[in-house]
Amino acid sequence: MVRLSDGLFINNTMHTISFSRRARVLAGTAMLAIGLAPSSHAAKFPALNDPATTEHIPGKLVWADLITTDPDSATKFYTSLLGWTAAPIEQKGKGYVVFSNNGRPVAGLAPHNVKGGTHPARWIGYYSVTDIDAAVAAVTKEGGKVYATSHKFPDRGLQAIVADKDGNPIGLLQSSSGDSADAEPKPGDWNWFELYVTNTKDTGDFYHGALGLEVAPETNSEKKSEFVLSTAGQARGGIAEMPAGDNNKPSWLGVIRVANLDDTLAKVAGLGGEVLVPPHSVEYGSRFAIILDSTGGTVGLVQYVDNANPATSQ
């Protein structure tokens, strides 16, 4: 996985950008209440892994949901941009879309119903856990909050939505089909997740206590306030300091690997999105950019150059 080493800060209008030494991202929405709209399509909710595995990797980010007020636009955007396929499903009268990359489910889309207006879309990542009730209890003990209690989804497992001490929403997923083995992300897969907060040490302590993640200083950074989150010897994500400001709110950025960054970015404007940070070099010779999707969701894109992968670049 390639971690960010340069980037941006976005204010909560999702349009004003200023640059610093590395990425500073603000999603610009308050606490989300996830509301699923009825769907006329019905399909089976896919297992996380098919065939199922016996492997469980607590602390691994295994899923992501996009919460948006315009699911049709978002679906067109990501399927056209990344080549993902979309399968609408219905669970108890509520609609949901499953995105797959080369036939493997990688993300979901949940419509967010907002009275009297719209809100920018927001991605929420899901951490793997082996005991979701214990994980929810640990989150509460460490000062987090519970937004949606544990719920069982057929063929998927148990899911919950919680928040860390900064109010940043995160998902918990106890997969009934196990977790996929650690491997280099393919184009179209999630590559990295980065948290942006005001107190990186405090946030690191939360994720260590609540989810058992190992927290270590970022060795490639001169700033000792930046940390890497890992489990089972594998880096899972990072924590970076957010600049001060009345409008700044904690958030996280998901980064997706693409085969050709320039070709991907060339499609963004035509699909109703915007390139927030143009492509530039980051770690291990990779190239990185940040975009806004057609519904206001922020996502990073990275292209490995010369097989730029920390696991093989020692």
What gap in Å lies between CA 237 and CA 234, rounded to an integer? 9
Task: Give me 289's structure tokens.
Answer: 């950019």
pTM assigned to the model: 0.82
- Please give the radius of gyration of the chain, using alpha carbons only, rounded to the nearest integer: 18
CA dihedral over 58, 61, 62, 68, signed as positive or negative: positive
pLDDT of 19 reads 29
pLDDT of 272 reads 97
pLDDT of 95 reads 81
**How would you write the pLDDT of the chain (314 residues) with one tens digit per residue?**
555 544 343 333 233 333 232 333 333 333 333 433 333 344 567 888 989 999 999 999 999 999 999 999 999 999 999 999 999 987 666 788 999 999 999 999 998 876 555 678 899 999 999 999 999 999 999 999 999 999 998 888 999 999 999 899 999 999 999 898 888 899 999 999 999 898 899 999 999 999 999 999 887 765 555 899 999 889 989 999 886 666 677 888 999 999 999 999 999 999 999 999 999 988 767 899 999 999 999 999 999 986 555 444 44
Report the Cα 143 to chain-centroid distance in Å. 22
What gap in Å lies between CA 211 and CA 123, rounded to an integer? 20
DSSP string covering the chain: -PPP-S--EE-TTS--EE--SS-B------S----PPP-S---PPPPSSSS--S---TT-EEEEEEEES-HHHHHHHHHHHH--EEEEEEETTEEEEEEEETTEEEEEEEE---TTS----EEEEEEE-S-HHHHHHHHHHTT-EEEEEEEEETTTEEEEEEE-TT--EEEEEEETT--PPP-PPPTTSEEEEEEEES-HHHHHHHHHHHH--EEEE-TT-S-TT-EEEEETTEEEEEEEEPPP-TT---EEEEEEE-S-HHHHHHHHGGGT-EEEEEEEE-GGG-EEEEEE-TTS-EEEEEE-SSS--GGG--
What gap in Å lies between CA 223 and CA 16, rounded to an integer? 25
pLDDT of 146 reads 96
Domains of the chain with CATH codes: 9-31+185-312 (3.10.180.10), 61-175 (3.10.180.10)
pLDDT of 1 reads 56
